[in-house]
Amino acid sequence: MTTTSVTSRRLLPADPATRRIAERLYQLIADLPILSPHGHVDPGILATDRPFRDPATLLIRDDHYVTRLLHADGVDLASLAIGQGEISESEARRIWRIFCDRWHLFAGTASGYWLRSTLQDVFGVEQLPGDADPDALFDALSESLAAADMRPRALLERFDIEVLATTDDPLDTLEPHRILAADPGVRTVVRPTFRPDAYLDPTAAGWGDRVERLIDSVDQNGYEGYLEGLRASRRRFIEHGATSADFGVFTADTAEIDPSSAAALFDRARRGELSATEARAFRAHMLFESARMSTEDGLVMTIHAGVFRNHHTPTFTGYGPDRGHDIPVATTFVEPLRPLLQRFGTARGFHLILFTVDETTFSRELAPLAGFYPSVFIGAPWWFLDAPDSAARFRAATVETAGFYRGSGFIDDTRAFLSIPARHDMARRTDAGYLARLVVEERLSIGEAERIAVDLHSAIPRRAFKL
Amino acid sequence: MTTTSVTSRRLLPADPATRRIAERLYQLIADLPILSPHGHVDPGILATDRPFRDPATLLIRDDHYVTRLLHADGVDLASLAIGQGEISESEARRIWRIFCDRWHLFAGTASGYWLRSTLQDVFGVEQLPGDADPDALFDALSESLAAADMRPRALLERFDIEVLATTDDPLDTLEPHRILAADPGVRTVVRPTFRPDAYLDPTAAGWGDRVERLIDSVDQNGYEGYLEGLRASRRRFIEHGATSADFGVFTADTAEIDPSSAAALFDRARRGELSATEARAFRAHMLFESARMSTEDGLVMTIHAGVFRNHHTPTFTGYGPDRGHDIPVATTFVEPLRPLLQRFGTARGFHLILFTVDETTFSRELAPLAGFYPSVFIGAPWWFLDAPDSAARFRAATVETAGFYRGSGFIDDTRAFLSIPARHDMARRTDAGYLARLVVEERLSIGEAERIAVDLHSAIPRRAFKL
Amino acid sequence: MTTTSVTSRRLLPADPATRRIAERLYQLIADLPILSPHGHVDPGILATDRPFRDPATLLIRDDHYVTRLLHADGVDLASLAIGQGEISESEARRIWRIFCDRWHLFAGTASGYWLRSTLQDVFGVEQLPGDADPDALFDALSESLAAADMRPRALLERFDIEVLATTDDPLDTLEPHRILAADPGVRTVVRPTFRPDAYLDPTAAGWGDRVERLIDSVDQNGYEGYLEGLRASRRRFIEHGATSADFGVFTADTAEIDPSSAAALFDRARRGELSATEARAFRAHMLFESARMSTEDGLVMTIHAGVFRNHHTPTFTGYGPDRGHDIPVATTFVEPLRPLLQRFGTARGFHLILFTVDETTFSRELAPLAGFYPSVFIGAPWWFLDAPDSAARFRAATVETAGFYRGSGFIDDTRAFLSIPARHDMARRTDAGYLARLVVEERLSIGEAERIAVDLHSAIPRRAFKL
């Protein structure tokens, strides 16, 4: 990973004695290759390796963590060309100016940090949006983007990404993954991730059609065909390099329902006859069944729980999903996951990584669960919590109960390809700072801290995600 | 604002390099005029400008944040003359001695901090209650209070308060506000705040009578007269300078009920026929309707949610409300506010400021909501959270998701007039410390930090509260 | 207390100016005698004073905070000889090696901290498990354990434990307590604690038999005999030196049920006829009745709420309780405790100490409740939260609202006798660090900080627990 100078004090502790130790630890890990075992980069951009379009589309328009803060400042999503396909250069310049005028809104935010790092470390610009002339900056960035060394595969190499996982639909062809795997010039292992949410929730729009196509892909019918369709798709993902299956759920409810009752629910779901309660029960059952499949085929199970998706209906209706109004809610794991853990919690080889945006669960639930169940790993700070202060709180909330070795290791979980190095660098710097404090407080020896620093960014994610 | 020496290290970071930056930032904002857009000072004391009574009544007896800690130590509220009107000097001295004997109970508390600042910075005393002879201190403070420069209006000037908002009943005459506005000698703008809780909750004692008087104030009858009474009162508040309407609620539930059903609930409420569930629905509907009124007349809507009022019935029965046993409860905003935000969340000019005493909502709900909805602003740390460590947690929990510009700016929310400068000074110092850390960690440039420091205590509250 | 060198910087703040003050405060309290008013040491080991067995049994096998992290790493409980009685030396050596191989799992954890302190400060070893040869270390520790100065009573003296409370069944003979009290050579006051959970919850296994024996111990029958049995047992505990009664509950629900209805519930409970809802109501009622008994006999009431016990049924079935899978859940006190506090919250002499493993309640509920009710004290950070970073969060979350004098003082709450000095030393160091920060930030004078430091580890627990 070659990003910011390793001599920068960025994100390191203020106290000089602590900082010296943090710098020593950071230097050990600054250049480790990037492991990105969970994220949302479109594999198509890597397979085709076309140059990126203009900077406004790349950095603003298509990043809803950026557009949500512009929207909060009163900028209409329409004026940002959200959902409008390719835009003209003049349109892109207009959007770029809207953004530059509001650069101060991003001060202190994670998104602002990724943007700044991307501009400084990937593009090498000196003046930031708040100081630079917007048009001159747009021109400079556009020129950079046209160069061969800013093509997606060139960046993959430059970022030193050893593993990059994408997130994919069960019926996806995985053709980009095949192309990348077959190309000896691509040294990064690009792995698909099985993400079946839209097939497990009977209330999701299009569930019936999707399930029908899934069943059509195998020889069996009905509920058995549905389960076999999922299993077959998982096998196909594994053949293409997948090591994990991901589940985005509102609650972490799980339930064991006997096969004939489950089949009956499934049949009624296809006829649109489930009550809301029955639909919830079916979802909970399918999360349980997905754990069972993981114990059979070895895919790591990751759960991202506790988000109210598409909170503002007019925005969802007008612009579709992923527009910045998915809002976290209070979450609990202890009782909802219990049916699953009773059955599979100590199953050999089963890995269950739990992600949350409700920080209260870190010390209360996730660290205690991971401190007992060999299957449970604490997911890295996710999403809004993937930021320096939140990451520090995460360590302080989990390590005292579960240590360093029950976490998943850092994941970037991003669509924003260019921000990947900055995100991993942030995690390495904040980990170095946290470990340095423990050394200063005589809670770890420097030797222990060195081993842990390296493990956190190598052995730990390799083991948790079975890389 | 002329309070503590700007060279004091009070509340600034310990690390020398960080403190130097914090001092530079603090010096920029230490003397900005005070904006107090939400609070509970009695406007009558300013209109009449009578000298304050003795120090025990002023600083102890009438401040239930102080008396609650005495009560927790076993002091009966009766022996503090709670609810007994004016007290004799010997009674005041007795209460003062009770307080001085227990000064150590306040060490480290926000109340202790306000008291110490008031004594040192407003009264200029050198020995604090724990060290001084209680009677000598009582005498010195009494002498100070008799002087002309300690009269309420003189302090208003000395504190350099540019705007002071009070909190008022919809049927209040607002006569003190008229007097103060008409007096060219008063440079502070004293604004009323519309606080209709007792008119919106059919289960509140006296609701029926209050509503009847409200309807009598307009030409219409029934539910329409009720809504028009509220609207007319809001207009009258706006004419007297109000820019906001405040709502203190147990939950943030909102609901849209069609007008005829709402009218039917209202009629049955007046006959005392509502079930608890119906009363809750009516309250939720009136919070929704209040948002609609704000989109029409422009009053900023502030919600203070999640407090169990008057937890100990024997105390409430014996001494009335505001006796220190209002206790926070777990709070959520995401689902309860959704009906309101679906309808008005992106309405132009609508401002909704959310205050909480459940810190868990800062990173989980408030920052994400304010990071999308242009109407939503994150309320400053409220009440028990209005203290240095809590304020630091607030910034660390919200900035990474929503930046600095989606907050309301600091509000003091106090009845304790003499503590106002100390409270704003605390906020300025803790903000300077937080920003300095971000500069040291290379997350902000010093120029960015300077701009944000000034905006936090000027442009941001002016915009959020439409001052 | 004679543990680590008072010149060690262990757990003290990194900033040099803050650390100097922290060291000064720590030196004041480092050698205060230990008050341990709540814990789980087996009084039998003190009464018999037999040498401890091998180091693996003492430090690993019998400490489920240690075995849970081994289990999480994939070590079967069976291979740790859990629940197998005395083990051979070769078995002990095997378990010791399993532990030494996994020493890195404990880095940064509270358990790792206690183990390291125990090894270094109690045994005086120089090389820790990660560095030492496991067999040589086993031999060295075994040799130490055989020495007279490592016998339980010798350690009691060496640790300078002034008071040690155990936790005991209402029908326990309390014979060890009698033996210890009668022996003039034992200077520590070993007090029993009344723990009646298994007698108050009709759904607990064996409740009927236990209640029958309780009733048999007094002259009355039925519900009256049950209440009188509890009262008589409490009296017996008080005669043996008890000052508190402890309640471990899933929720803090309390309810006042009239005596005849309660008697009817009790009779039906004995016939096994209660519904789940009725059983919950009866438990809530008995928590209420227990508070009433405390107002009568003066026993301090301590509540440990909010834990899902024995989460993994196969482990519970195979190995019994206390195997590391008790997991905290979201907890609330405000509404559940209200019936109890309405009735007894201001009763003279009643002490109610509230312990939680849900940190969110510290600032939201516990500090506000303790800041009003003279009976309520905030329990020290309990269990998973009994660790340096958690302890720092606890102070920062409670002091600003409730000060220092509404807390219980530190309790170690441990079965691991040898870890007691390390635990109290941790609390003293973190308190010194917190107070030092407040001095540096000019929130406390050094004189105030010195008084508070001493009170936190002497006057405050003496008062809260009526020692």
Q: Do B9 and C371 touch (CB under 8 A)?
A: no
- Residues of chain B with C-beta less than 8 angstroms from the C-beta of A104: 405, 448, 451-452
What radius of gyration do chain B's Cα atoms show?
Answer: 23
Query: What is the count of residue pairs from A and C with beta carbons less than 8 Å apart?
Result: 134
Q: Is the pLDDT of residue C2 over 90?
A: no
Q: Give the length of chain A.
A: 467
The residue among C150, C174, C194 that closes a domain is: C150
Contact B271, B304 (CB under 8 A): no
| A22 in a structural domain | no
pLDDT bracket for residue C398 (50, 70, 90): very high
The span from the CA of B339 to the CA of B345, in Å, is: 9
Q: Is the pLDDT of residue A228 over 60?
A: yes
Of all helices (H) and strands (E), which one includes residue C289?
A: helix C276-297
Q: What's the DSSP call for residue B131?
A: T
Determine the residue type at A68: R
Residues B400 and B314 in one domain: yes
In chain B, what percentage of residues exceed pLDDT 70?
99
Quote the minimal CA–CA distance from A65 to chain B in Å.
9
pLDDT bracket for residue A4 (50, 70, 90): low
In terms of CA atoms, which chain B residue is nearest residue A117?
Answer: B443
Query: How buried is A340 (Cβ within 10 angstroms: 0-12 exposed, 13-18 middle, 19+ buried)?
Result: buried
Interface test mutation site (partner A, options C103, C109, C113, C362, max chain A beta carbons within 10 A): C109
C13 interfaces chain B, CB cutoff of 8 Å: yes
Q: Which domain holds residue B144?
A: 53-150
What pLDDT score does C4 carry?
53
C387 interfaces chain A, CB cutoff of 8 Å: yes
- Residues of chain A with C-beta less than 8 angstroms from the C-beta of C15: 15
Quote the minimal CA–CA distance from C460 to chain B in Å.
12
Within 13 Å, how many C-alpha atoms sit on residue C230's CB side?
Answer: 24
- Residues of chain A with C-beta less than 8 angstroms from the C-beta of C14: 13, 15, 17-18, 437, 440-441
The span from the CA of C164 to the CA of C180, in Å, is: 11
In terms of CA atoms, which chain C residue is nearest residue A360?
Answer: C360
Q: Do C363 and B390 touch (CB under 8 A)?
A: yes
In chain A, what percentage of residues exceed pLDDT 90?
97
Concatenating the DSSP letter of every residue in C387-445 gives SHHHHHHHHHHHHHHH-STTB-------S-GGGHHHHHHHHHHHHHHHHHHHHHTTSS-
The span from the CA of A401 to the CA of C390, in Å, is: 10
What pLDDT score does C377 carry?
98
- Residues of chain A with C-beta less than 8 angstroms from the C-beta of C22: none
Q: For the ranges B15-24, C125-134, C174-183, which has the lowest average pLDDT?
A: C125-134
Q: Do C342 and B105 touch (CB under 8 A)?
A: no
A443 interfaces chain C, CB cutoff of 8 Å: yes
Identify the CA nearest to A416 among candidates A63, A4, A12.
Answer: A63
Dihedrals φ, ψ of B407, to 5°?
Answer: -95, 165
Beta strands in B339-442 (DSSP E): 352-356, 376-378
| C225 in a structural domain | yes
Q: Kindly report the CA angle at B236 between B230 and B238, in degrees rounded to 5?
A: 105
Q: Kindly list the partner chains of chain A, i.e. chains with 3 or more CB atom pairs below 8 Å.
A: B, C
Looking at every residue in chain A, the average pLDDT score rounds to 97
Q: Please compute the mean of the pLDDT values over residues B83-105 and round it to a whole number.
A: 96
For residue A62, the tally of other CB atoms under 10 A from its CB is 18
Which residues neighbour A226 within 8 Å (Cβ) at sequence distance 6 or greater? A211, A214, A215, A266
Quote the minimal CA–CA distance from A177 to chain B in Å.
33
Give the pairing of strands B352-356 and B300-305: parallel
Identify the CA nearest to A319 among candidates A132, A119, A90, A78.
Answer: A78
Determine the residue type at B359: E
| C318 in a structural domain | yes
Residues B325 and B363 in one domain: yes
Q: Give me the residues of B, 446-465, that contact A with CB < 8 A.
A: 448, 451-452
pLDDT tens, residue by residue, C260-305: 999 999 999 999 999 999 999 999 999 999 999 999 999 999 999 9
Query: What is the count of residue pairs from A and B with beta carbons less than 8 Å apart?
Result: 133
Of all helices (H) and strands (E), which one includes residue A244?
A: strand A244-249
Residues C355 and C251 in one domain: yes
Within 13 Å, how many C-alpha atoms sit on residue A347's CB side?
Answer: 19
Residues C199 and C61 in one domain: no
Q: Do C372 and B10 touch (CB under 8 A)?
A: no
The answer to whether the Cα torsion of B213, B214, B216, B220 is positive or negative is negative
- Residues of chain A with C-beta less than 8 angstroms from the C-beta of B371: 68-69, 72, 324
The residue among A116, A150, A184 that closes a domain is: A150
The span from the CA of B434 to the CA of B381, in Å, is: 15
Determine the residue type at B320: G
A403 interfaces chain C, CB cutoff of 8 Å: yes
Residues A146 and A208 in one domain: no
Q: Inter-axis angle of helices C388-402 and A388-402, to 10 degrees?
A: 120
Determine the residue type at A289: E
Residues A165 and A129 in one domain: no
Looking at every residue in chain B, the average pLDDT score rounds to 97
Q: Is the pLDDT of residue B2 over 70?
A: no
In chain A, what percentage of residues exceed pLDDT 70?
99
Beta strands in B188-336 (DSSP E): 189-191, 244-249, 300-305, 307-308, 327-328
pLDDT bracket for residue A2 (50, 70, 90): very low
3-state secondary structure of A163: strand
Q: Do C371 and B69 touch (CB under 8 A)?
A: yes
The residue among B92, B122, B150 that closes a domain is: B150
| A101 in a structural domain | yes
The span from the CA of C167 to the CA of B340, in Å, is: 52
Q: How far is CA C456 from CA A448, B105, B199, C390, C450, in A?
A: 33, 12, 47, 17, 10
What pLDDT score does A5 carry?
57
Contact C448, B130 (CB under 8 A): yes
Q: Please compute the mean of the pLDDT values over residues B344-373 and round it to a whole number.
A: 98
Residues A212 and A136 in one domain: no
Beta strands in A265-328 (DSSP E): 300-305, 307-308, 327-328
| B7 in a structural domain | no
Residues A229 and A369 in one domain: yes
What pLDDT score does B464 carry?
98
Identify the CA nearest to B69 among candidates C406, C267, A112, A36.
Answer: C406
A402: domain CATH number is 3.20.20.140
Q: Kindly report the CA angle at A411 between A410 and A416, in degrees rounded to 5?
A: 135
Residues A97 and A246 in one domain: no
Identify the CA nearest to B390 among candidates A69, A6, C398, C173.
Answer: C398
The span from the CA of C95 to the CA of C89, in Å, is: 10
Q: Considering only residues A412 and C8, tell me which one the structure prediction assigns the higher pLDDT.
A: A412
What pLDDT score does C7 carry?
64
For residue C44, the tally of other CB atoms under 10 A from its CB is 14
C131: domain CATH number is 1.10.2020.10
What pLDDT score does B335 carry?
98
B372 interfaces chain C, CB cutoff of 8 Å: no
pLDDT tens, residue by residue, B150-165: 999 999 999 999 999 9
What pLDDT score does B115 carry?
97
| C422 in a structural domain | yes
Token reading at A159:
């970022």
- Residues of chain A with C-beta less than 8 angstroms from the C-beta of C130: 448
Quote the minimal CA–CA distance from B106 to chain A in Å.
28
Residues A444 and A391 in one domain: yes
Within 13 Å, how many C-alpha atoms sit on residue C397's CB side?
Answer: 23
Which residues neighbour B294 within 8 Å (Cβ) at sequence distance 6 or greater? B245, B300, B301, B344, B350, B351, B352
pLDDT bracket for residue C208 (50, 70, 90): very high
The total number of structural domains in chain A stands at 2
Q: How far is CA C154 from CA C47, C52, C148, C157, in A?
A: 12, 12, 7, 5
The answer to whether the Cα torsion of A69, A70, A72, A78 is positive or negative is negative
Dihedrals φ, ψ of A355, to 5°?
Answer: -110, 145
Q: How far is CA C432 from CA A58, B348, C24, in A?
A: 51, 52, 8
Query: How buried is B360 (Cβ within 10 angstroms: 0-12 exposed, 13-18 middle, 19+ buried)?
Result: buried
The span from the CA of C301 to the CA of C379, in Å, is: 11
pLDDT tens, residue by residue, C369-385: 999 999 999 999 999 99
| B69 in a structural domain | yes
The span from the CA of A438 to the CA of B426, in Å, is: 30
What pLDDT score does B7 carry?
64
Q: What's the DSSP call for residue B365?
A: I
Within 13 Å, how many C-alpha atoms sit on residue A210's CB side?
Answer: 18
pLDDT bracket for residue B1 (50, 70, 90): very low
pLDDT tens, residue by residue, A285-338: 999 999 999 999 999 999 999 999 999 999 999 999 999 999 999 999 999 999
Token reading at A382:
């996710």
What pLDDT score does A83 carry?
87
Residues A100 and A245 in one domain: no
The string over C422-435, giving b where at least 16 C-beta atoms fall within 10 Å of a residue's C-beta and e elsewhere, is bbbbbbbbbbbbbb
B368 interfaces chain A, CB cutoff of 8 Å: yes
How far the first Cα of chain A sits from its last, in Å, is 18
In terms of CA atoms, which chain A residue is nearest residue C325?
Answer: A372
From C341, C397, C399, residue closest to B108, measured CB to CB: C399
Of all helices (H) and strands (E), which one includes residue C207?
A: helix C207-216
From B14, B384, B388, residue closest to C368, measured CB to CB: B384
Residues A178 and A136 in one domain: no
Q: Do C373 and B312 touch (CB under 8 A)?
A: yes
Give the pairing of strands C300-305 and C244-249: parallel
| B32 in a structural domain | no
Dihedrals φ, ψ of C3, to 5°?
Answer: -125, -115
CA dihedral of residues B260, B266, B270, B271 (deg, nearest 10): 50
Q: Give me the residues of A, 231-270, that contact C with CB < 8 A.
A: none
For residue B264, the tally of other CB atoms under 10 A from its CB is 14
C379 interfaces chain A, CB cutoff of 8 Å: no
From C14, C325, C329, residue closest to A372, measured CB to CB: C325
